[in-house]
């Protein structure tokens, strides 16, 4: 029971931190606010996280992992690009909708804070771009896509859609049909790149 309580304490802190960070941003959030929102003491946060930065970093990591778990692209690698693209986009959009606050934090905040974090975020981005590159390259290989495409550029075009529509979804409280939206987006892109 103690272990369970400890876990729930840690989780309530994370939950509260996501809430407050997403509303006020990293720099405008005070540790005390998080503590209050978590129903814990200020000191308790430091039992689980060594600093404000680490807490933030942890949230970012968790967020990213959850996305990647949610949208496992690899196992789709053999499917047609059309399907993969649709799967990826709709997966992301659905995730954004279901994790609005976490998304807001993950997308917007990283750049202002810490060199280490910026580089980490860049890595995440590049990883994503590489994933999409592979998808495109394979599509060309298989003859699905036009062979004259600049793979890097197309990959970045697709990746650009994700954070932009993320903030679109997050900022508006409207509940979108994420599948239909993804369908429309990928239709345009596909027509633009298919053979």
Partner DNA sequence: TATGAATGAGCATTCATTCAT
Partner DNA sequence: GATGAATGAATGCTCATTCAT
In this structure, what DSSP letter does residue 194 have?
Answer: B
161 interface partner picked from DNA, its own copies, none, CB below 5 to 8 A per type: its own copies
Whichever of 72 and 112 has its CB closer to its own copies, that residue is: 112
CA distance 133 to 143: 15
| Binding status of residue 51 toward DNA by CB under 7 A | yes
Distance (Å, rounded) from C-alpha 20 to C-alpha 28?
A: 9
Q: Is 30 among the residues that bind DNA (CB under 7 A)?
A: yes
The dihedral built from the CA positions of residue 34, 39, 44 and 49, taken in this order, carries a sign that is negative
Nearer to its own copies, 73 or 107 (CB): 107
> Does the footprint of DNA cover residue 94 (CB under 7 A)?
no
Size of the site for its own copies (CB under 8 A): 34
Q: Per-residue x/- mask for its own copies, residues 110 to 149, rule CB under 8 A?
A: -xxx--------x--------------------------x
**DSSP string computed for 165-183:** HHHHHHHS-----HHHHHH
Residue 32 as a binder of DNA (CB under 7 A): the answer is yes
Q: Which of 32, 47, 150, 177 binds its own copies (CB under 8 A)?
A: 150
**Is 28 an interacting residue with respect to its own copies (CB under 8 A)?**
yes
Q: Which of its own copies, DNA, none lies near 52, with the C-beta cut-off 5 to 8 A by kind?
A: DNA
- Interface with DNA (CB under 7 A), residue total 24
By CB under 7 A, residue 43 contacts DNA: yes
**What's 85-130 look like in SS3?**
HHHHHHHHHHHHHHCHHHHHHHHHCHHHCCHHHHHHHHHHHHHHHH
- Structure letter (DSSP) for residue 31: H
Task: Record the tokens describing residue 8, joined without a space.
Answer: 């729930």
59 in Cβ contact with 21 (< 8 Å): yes
Q: Which positions touch its own copies (CB under 8 A)? A: 25-28, 108-109, 111-113, 122, 149-150, 153-154, 156-157, 159-161, 163-165, 168, 171, 181, 184-185, 187-193
């Amino acid at each position: 029971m103690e272990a369970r309580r400890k876990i729930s304490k840690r989780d309530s802190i994370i939950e509260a931190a996501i809430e407050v960070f997403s509303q006020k941003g990293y720099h405008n959030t005070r540790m005390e606010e998080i503590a209050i929102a978590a129903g814990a003491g200020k000191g308790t946060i430091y039992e689980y996280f060594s600093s404000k930065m680490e807490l933030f970093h942890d949230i970012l990591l968790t967020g990213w992992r959850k996305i990647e778990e949610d949208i496992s692209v690899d196992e789709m690698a053999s499917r047609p690009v059309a399907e993969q693209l649709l799967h990826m986009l709709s997966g992301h959009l659905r995730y954004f909708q279901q994790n609005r606050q976490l998304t807001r934090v993950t997308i917007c905040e990283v750049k202002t804070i810490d060199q280490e974090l910026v580089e980490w975020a860049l890595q995440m981005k590049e990883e994503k771009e590489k994933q999409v590159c592979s998808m495109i390259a394979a599509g060309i290989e298989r003859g699905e896509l036009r062979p004259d495409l600049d793979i890097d550029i197309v990959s970045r075009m697709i990746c650009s859609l994700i954070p932009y529509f993320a903030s679109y979804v997050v900022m508006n409280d409207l509940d979108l049909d994420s599948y239909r939206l993804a369908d429309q987006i990928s239709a345009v892109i596909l027509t633009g790149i298919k053979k």
